[in-house]
Amino acid sequence: MNIIVAPNGVALPQDVQATLQNPQLVWTLAGVLGSFVRASSQVTEPIEVPIHVVRADDVANVWAVGPWVFHASDLRSGTLGMYCEMVRKSRAKAGMAQMMGMQAPPGVVIPRYVMSLLAHDEGIPVGIIVQSTAPQPPLPMLELQLEAGVQSMWLASAHINIVARIGEPALRAALAAVATLRAAHTDFGTFIDQMPATLKPHSLVDDEAIACLVLDQWERQDGGAQRMQQLRTMVRP
C-alpha cells in the first residue's frame, strides 16, 4: 500500500482506512514513519511512500520502508516487561549480526541496528521497534533529526529499557558521568568523541548512549517524567 507523507503530517488513503482493525495503532505507526521519511529527505509537498506490509492485525503492524522495518504493538495486549524483553532481544540480535558480519540469505532480513519508541499520542500505548538493514544507519540526534514528538517517544523508550536492563541507580550514575564529562570539555566535538568510552563501562552504547546526552533535561524540563508516568498508568508493569 501507499501512504501520503506531507511536510506536516501523514494521510492514509480511504480504501486503507476502511480496512483498519485498529486505527489508533496504524495512525501512530504512520505518524512515526512520516517523521523518519522527513528526517531522511526534504519533503516540500505531499509524496506517496510505498509501504510493504509484513503483518497487520489488531495487535501488531509490521511495515517496511527502504532499509527500515517498523514493528508496532498495541501494549494494551501485553506488559512493559514483555515490551522491554522484545527490545532487548532485537538489540542483541542486531549486535550479534554486526560483530559476526552476517550476510542475509535471499529473502531474509538481518537488522544491523535497532532503536525503540514508546507512544500514546493516539490515545493508546504503542511500543515500536525500529530496525535498519543499512550498513551504516543514521543515529538519532546526530545524523537522524527526528521531530520533537517522535524524539520524545524514543527518549521514553530509552529510559524505560535502560532502567529495566541495568536499574535506576546505574542510569543515574551514567548521567552523572555525562555531566562530569560535559563540565570538563567546553568543546562539543571533544565531548562527543569521549562519550562512547565514558558510557561503555555503564553498558550504554549506540542510541542509548546518545539518549543520555539529553535524558536528564528531558525528564526535568521537557515533560519527560510526566510522559513516562502516563505510559506507566496505561500499561501493566
Q: Does 97 score more than 70 pLDDT? A: no
Residue spans per domain, the chain: 2-234
pLDDT band at 99 (very low <50, low <70, confident <90, very high): low
pLDDT band at 100 (very low <50, low <70, confident <90, very high): low
pLDDT in tens, 33-46: 999 999 998 899 99
pLDDT band at 186 (very low <50, low <70, confident <90, very high): confident
Q: What is the mean pLDDT of the chain?
A: 91
Residue type at 110? I
Q: How far is CA 139 from CA 103, 123, 200, 210, in A?
A: 22, 28, 17, 8
pLDDT in tens, 103-152: 655 556 677 889 999 999 899 999 999 999 887 888 899 889 999 999 99
Residue 160: what pLDDT?
A: 95
Q: Which of 216, 211, 206, 203 is nearest to 166 (CA)?
A: 203
Q: Which of 97, 209, 195 is nearest to 162 (CA)?
A: 209
